[in-house]
Structure formats: structure tokens, C-alpha cells
Structure 1
Amino acid sequence: MRQASSQDYYLCQMPATTSLKQFWSAARAAAAAGELLKLTLSKPVYGSSDLPRNRYGRLVEIKGRTLLQITHRYADREEVKNHPINEGLALMENALGTDYYNADLFSTTEKFSLILSRKGNARVLRQPALHPRPRPDVSLPKLKDLVVTDHNREKHRDIPADRPYLQHLGITNARGEVLRDGKRKFKQINKFVEIIAALLREHPLPDDAHIVDMGSGSGYLTFALYDHLVNTLDLNVRITGVELRPKLVEKCAHIANKNGFKNLTFVEGYIDDFKPKKIDMLIALHACDTATDDALYKGIVAKAEIMVVAPCCQKQVRRDMEVPADLKPLLGNGILLERQAAMLTDGMRALLLEAEGYKTKLFEFIPLEHTAKNVMITAVKGRKRPKALEEFRTLRKRFGVKKHYLRKLIKQEKAKA
């Protein structure tokens, strides 16, 4: 170990058990003193693709309580959860060395970095916090004042609240302020735009792409998506909202015209009756029961590059499934059976999509406090996975599912060929 200098306390190697104790002792002391600036875990264990790329913790004030806010950063999204400080630190401590190899602690007094090896050793770097050199004519804040604890601080939004169409949709007022009843929708449209933007970074659409929103409803997400893709990302796309209710179609068409959204149109009709020349991206959010399957089928037939669905009211499989005898003690409760049926329905949908040449992801779209219908399936065109159909059949046999509506539609289409 070399002597401490003005640049660092020390840089050394030591057993992982010793370094972990030192690291978490320092983290707890910084949190208890209100001096914790940032705590990060990075470098996930090799092969753990389902883990967040990193976890980021900071102190926040919520209703007079100081909590540890942990942001789970995935490749295509972020999930934020708030915990009591000791509980949050324990969660991160349990993940270091099992799920992650690197950790960094930033406090008002030091930076403590830890790099674990698979051999049970650790590389440790401890440095004093770097204070900016003061200028005689500027009064600089104390470093402790830089600790961010304002949970309600202004956040970056892909869709700013001052967009005129948000007022026309009843989400904001004339001053561009989000209304109390519009907060949930405002958060939802920004999350949706974030998801779509991540998909397009992974799989860009062709020029003059046609995006179809099946069951566009009041158009909240449709308008936000058009605004972001055309006005922010400067993409050449056309978006069509398909909606059964004529009054909503008329209202949305009027708002689109009023805002100069010339390549955003709304048409009246059922999902299965709408037959455009091409579909490059298909969206169907909260299409009830088998309407989600109708939308996915239309996307498969059109060879859509991207599909995004948020299923709703999955009843068809529930009616046709039989609970395996060994699972009856678990699924004898009605609510658990409903959830199992919904998971089975969406899991089988994903397998059918993979068999047709799509790479799929299933994840939480809207926090559970807003709605229980919060699962989203994304599908990006790729290679067929032949084993997916075998896995689908295994699940169907296991749960005695007599039929799956999407599978029926796909088989009918193949019979026509």
C-alpha cells in the first residue's frame, strides 16, 4: 500500500470480505450523516442479461421522510423505487458480489470505489472529495449543500408540458401546467415515448414508415408519439390511429389539424377491417381480450418491423385452460388463477411471435398503483426461433389449453398460402 497523498487515501488490493465491510460501513455512515451523494453498482455478472445495467441510489425527501431512491437502469428503460435507507442499502449490499462486480460511493467527504474479482479479491480506491478551487469574487456553496434530496425536482421529459395539443386533450392548462387529473397521463405518455425511442435505436424504421395505432382511443399516446418522432427526432413517418368510436375519431382529427400534424390521421373502424398497404410499426394498447391477438396477427401478416402491445382482459385462455392437479393448491384462489391465466396468455403470445421471427420482451409499462393492466409486449423483427413453437405446445399441454386465438389465426393464414 502506498502512502496517502492529496490525490488519494489509498489504492490497494485486499480480500473481498474485508473491502465489502469497509465499503458498506462507509455507505451507512454517509447516509446516516446525510452526506451520501451517489451510490452505484455496475458491471453485471456475465450472462445475466435480465439484470439492470447498473443501479443508482441517492437520498430523496418524500413527505418529510428521507429515503434511498434506487434507479434500476435497463437498456430500454428505467425503474425507480424508494426504500427506507437501511432497507435500500441492504438490497444493494446483497447485490454486490452476487449480481454486480463494481461499486462506487460518492459522499461529501470521499469517493470510495470497489472492483471485485472472481478470485475473491478486491481492488480498492479511496479518495478525498475534490473541492472546487474558490474564486475571490464568487461565493461557492459548501459541498454538503450539493446533496440532492428534492424528490419533486424538475425532470427531463421527452414531451414537454407546454405542447398545445396536451391542452386540447385536457392534460395541461393554458399556461402549460399539468393538471391534477392529467398527471398520470402525462407520466404515461412520456414513458411510452421513451420505450418507443429505445426500440427505434435498436431497430430503426425505413424512411416514410407507416405506424398504425390500433384502438387509438382519445389519442394521448398517438399525439405524443407523432410529436416526438416528427418534431423532435425529425423522422419521416406517417401515423394512423384506428378507433371504433366516431366521436373520438372526429375529436382527434380536429386536434391533429389544429396542431398542423399533417401526417397524423384517424380513421373509424375495427382492427380486422383496417387494411393499409403496409404497416412498419403496429401499436395496440389495452385492446380487450382477443382484440390484442387480432392486432398481432395483422402485424405478422403485414411483416411489421416492430409491434408494441399492452394486453387487456385476457379471458379466452382462462375459459379454455385446466389447472394441473399439482398446482390446484396454489391456483385454487380466484385472483391467483386470473393472474396465472393472464401470464399464460401473454407468455404464449410471446412464444408465437418468436416462432414467427420476432425478438420479444415483456415488462411492466405502468406502475401497479395506476393500473393492474400494466404488462407490455414488444416484438422486433429478427430470426425465427423454431423451439419457441415446441415450448408453446408444452405450455398448452401442461395447462390443458384447448386453443389459443392467435395460434388459430396464424394457422388459418398459413393454410391460405
Structure 2
Amino acid sequence: MATEPLLRALARMRGHLLDPETLVRAVASGAQRGAQREGRVPTVAGRPVRRVELRYVDLRAGRHLQVTSYDDTQAHTTNVAAGDDAKVAVDDLLDEPFGSWHVDTTTQTHQVRATKKLEATTHTQDRATPVEAERGHDKAKQRLLAEDDPVLRALGISDAQGRIKPTRQAKYRQVEEFLRLLDAAIGDALAKGQLRTPTEADPLRVVDLGCGNAYLTFAAHRYLSAVRGLPVRVTGVDVKQQSADHNAGVAASLGIEADFVVGTIGDAELAQAPDVVLALHACDTATDDALARAIAWESALVLAAPCCHHDVAAQLRKVPTPAPYAMLTRHGILRERFADTLTDALRAAILRLQGYRVDVVEFVESEHTPRNTLLRATRTGTPVTGGRVRQEYDDLVTTWGVHPHLAGLLDGPRG
């Protein structure tokens, strides 16, 4: 890891970005901390963006630089001809106050993170084996993990020919979108200094709570290590010994060093506190168990996609509905959906009270899974002991007469 002037580091990245033969993919994400304090955020075509991806594609008109920018709701893609047009597009992006750049070439990976002093911490790693850049314009090929990736084959998502199995299309889509959100969150947290920069001696520690067959565990390891070039150590936690044995066998077949711990989410013992906590579709209050562990560990980043929400729904059936909201709970289906919303709103509020910045987003379209809400939390500082957030939380639980399981696990914040 080296430190140098930011402009010098970006000038070096410019050379890689403008090389249509060797650039595989580049990602700019987050905002520089100084720019945030001044109220400035990266923009593309006048739109605020949180992330931009670049790669070269071959069209009928020749090779073009494809620029895909992501705002809070959707992606916008433009193609500019390689050469002078690409230079203009790249220079415009380098002028924006992005917090980090990750640049993959056929032979190296480069990571540049802007500091608050407008310096850059940079890391370059040679690939053990050169890779070939994908230049196809077919959007189906623009995946974070290719369909024929060995991890997807080992997990049974792809067949022996490297094609996604028809019965696993939804699972593949979930993994892809979860990785996309994980990548953006890690890039943003690194750029803001909220997540420590991992090293080979002290890799990024990622735990998947309630891992089951470890789809996320292996996919996260593969993407973060092979694509982003980050040193990473993953751990999967599941209550079943059978799952741990199966997952250990998969890891051995892939040559991955990973840990699999048998135990409940609430009681599993880890050698070291994780930097990143993942929990995909932990059932009912198991999501609360995962969030409570992450808070206790003071993990820098948490991504949790809840499953069913029985606990608060059961409480709502036992208490009178406050006026004038009787119509929200009169019909069973509406009461269940409201309970889902109320549960996740309370979880988000508790995380904020515990010192996390929280976003509640849709991580995959509803046709792939109805359980598509994701809580993305980044640790920013000390817990909140009062103020508007605390008052809103107290008012909400008092009005509805519910007691969130997560609050009980933390012995507060209701006090």
C-alpha cells in the first residue's frame, strides 16, 4: 500500500482507462470526504451517481467505451467511441470527486482511494494468470460472476457446460444483485475511511450468518478476491453440522480457505470480529440475531435481507390497533404486509440509534423473490442517545404497542 498525490494516481489510472486492449473493467464509487462536507457528490450528465462502471465493447461501428452509471434507482448506459470521445468521457469522470477507483486490466488490478488531504492510497497487484477482456455487447454477459465461473458450478447454479440451470436462474439473479450491492457498499465505505483497508497479513473478514449452502459465502469470496483483488477471509455460520461439512468440502474442491462454524447466529463463536456481516433471508427473528451480533462486533458494514416477519405480526394481533389505523390491520394480508414494513422500519431505527447509517433498498426484482428488501448499514460512530431519531422510535413502538426483538437483544434502546 503506497501513498501519493491524488492527481498523480488518477493520471496513471487514466492510462489504463484509455487502453482499449487491456482494460477489463473499472469501477468508480463513493464520494471523497472533503467533497461530502462541501455538499458535492459525483455526477454524470447532471445526475448524482453513486457508482460508475466502464468497459470496452465491440459494436458494429467499432470499439466503444461503455459507461454505466448508477443512481439510487436505476442504471444509465452510454457508449462512446474509443479515441478522442473516450478521452473526453474519461477526463470528465476523473474530474468528479469519486472516493475510490478500482481498475482491472488483463494483467493487474489497481485500487485507488482518495484521502481527506487529497492524497491517494494505492494498491497494485499482479494477476497470477492474465485474463481476457470480454468485449461482447450482450447485456446478459455483463455479470459480476460469469455463468461458467467455477464457484457457480460447484454450487450447482451452473451446469457442467457453464450454463445457468433453468431452475437456478432466480438464485443466480439474487447472488448477482447481492454482490452488486456488496461491491458498491464496500467501495463507498473504503472511500470514506469507514472500512479499514485490508492487507494480505490482515485480510477483510466477512461472515455470512445463517449461510446454509453458502451461496453468498463463496460468491462473496470469489468476487472480492478474484474480481476486486481484495485480500479476504470468509466465514459461514449455520446451525447444521451437515451444512458445515458440505461447505468445507466445496471450499476444498475450489482451493478456498474458508471457515465454517456450527452454531446458532446468536451464539456462534468467531476467532475475530468480522468487518462485514451478511445475512440473506434469515427467518423471522434470526435477522434480529444477525443484526445484534453485527452491532456487538462493531462491524463496519452490514447487509441483511430479512425473510418472514412473524414476531411483530403476532404482537399486532394481540393489541388494539391505535386510531385511526384500524383499516391497516383489519384484513389479514394487509396486517402481514404492514408488519413487514413496521419490523424493518424499527430495525433501521435501532441501527441508526446504535451509530449506523442505514439504507433500505430493493435488492432484486419481486418476480425473482417476494423477500427482496435489504437493510444496508454502515457504522459511522457512537450510538445516538437522544434527539429526533430516538423520539420517533419511542413514539412508534408506544403507538403500536410492540416490542422489537432486536431491541430486547440489545437490552434497549427503549431502556
Which interval holds the TM-score relative to the shorter structure?
Answer: 0.5 to 0.7
How far the C-alpha of 1:281 sits from its partner, in A, is 0.9
Identify if the C-alpha distance between structure 1 residues 371 and 318 changes in structure 2 by more than 3 Å, giving closer, same or farther. same
Unaligned regions of 5+ residues in structure 1, if any? Answer: 1-40, 55-70, 81-103, 107-150
Whether 1:398 aligns to 2:399 is yes
Whether 1:214 aligns to 2:200 is no
Whether 1:232 aligns to 2:218 is no
- AA aligned to 2:354 is E
Q: 2:268 maps to which residue?
A: 274
Whether 1:255 aligns to 2:274 is no
Q: 1:410 maps to which residue?
A: 410
Asked if the contact 1:214/1:241 (under 8 Å) is kept, the reply is yes
How far the C-alpha of 1:247 sits from its partner, in A, is 1.9
- AA aligned to 1:297 is A
Does 1 or 2 have the higher relative contact order (CA < 8 Å, sep 6+)?
Answer: 2
How far the C-alpha of 1:79 sits from its partner, in A, is 6.5
Asked if the contact 2:280/2:305 (under 8 Å) is kept, the reply is yes
The match for 1:188 among 164, 168, 174 is 174
How far the C-alpha of 1:306 sits from its partner, in A, is 0.5
How far the C-alpha of 1:339 sits from its partner, in A, is 0.8
Q: 2:365 maps to which residue?
A: 367
Asked if the contact 1:352/1:388 (under 8 Å) is kept, the reply is no
Asked if the contact 1:363/1:376 (under 8 Å) is kept, the reply is yes
Any idea what SS the aligned residue of 1:373 has? coil
Asked if the contact 1:53/1:73 (under 8 Å) is kept, the reply is yes
How far the C-alpha of 1:209 sits from its partner, in A, is 2.3
Spell out the pairing of 1:93-112 with structure 2 (5 A cutoff): none
Asked if the contact 2:288/2:405 (under 8 Å) is kept, the reply is yes
- AA aligned to 2:348 is A
Aligned length: 284
Matched residues in 2 for 1:181 and 1:293: separation?
A: 30
Q: CA RMSD in A?
A: 2.9
Whether 1:166 aligns to 2:152 is yes
Asked if the contact 1:53/1:74 (under 8 Å) is kept, the reply is yes
| 1:30-89 residue CA offsets vs partner (Å, 9 max, x unmatched) | xxxxxxxxxxx9645xxxx8x9999xxxxxxxxxxxxxxxx99425x7469xxxxxxxxx
Unaligned regions of 5+ residues in structure 2, if any? Answer: 1-43, 53-67, 81-136
- AA aligned to 2:263 is G
The match for 1:296 among 285, 291, 313 is 291
Identify if the C-alpha distance between structure 1 residues 367 and 170 changes in structure 2 by more than 3 Å, giving closer, same or farther. same
Identify if the C-alpha distance between structure 1 residues 234 and 414 changes in structure 2 by more than 3 Å, giving closer, same or farther. farther
The match for 2:380 among 379, 382, 395 is 382
Spell out the pairing of 1:17-28 with structure 2 (5 A cutoff): none
How far the C-alpha of 1:412 sits from its partner, in A, is 6.5
Matched residues in 1 for 2:152 and 2:322: separation?
A: 49
| 1:240-282 residue CA offsets vs partner (Å, 9 max, x unmatched) | 00011222221111111111112x2222211112122312111
How far the C-alpha of 1:289 sits from its partner, in A, is 1.2
Q: 1:337 maps to which residue?
A: 335
The match for 1:287 among 282, 288, 293 is 282
Q: 1:7 maps to which residue?
A: none
Asked if the contact 1:172/1:179 (under 8 Å) is kept, the reply is yes
Higher-Rg member (1/2): 1
Any idea what SS the aligned residue of 1:325 has? coil
TM-score (structure 2 length as normaliser): 0.63
Asked if the contact 1:43/1:53 (under 8 Å) is kept, the reply is no
Any idea what SS the aligned residue of 1:261 has? coil
Any idea what SS the aligned residue of 1:160 has? coil
- AA aligned to 2:404 is H
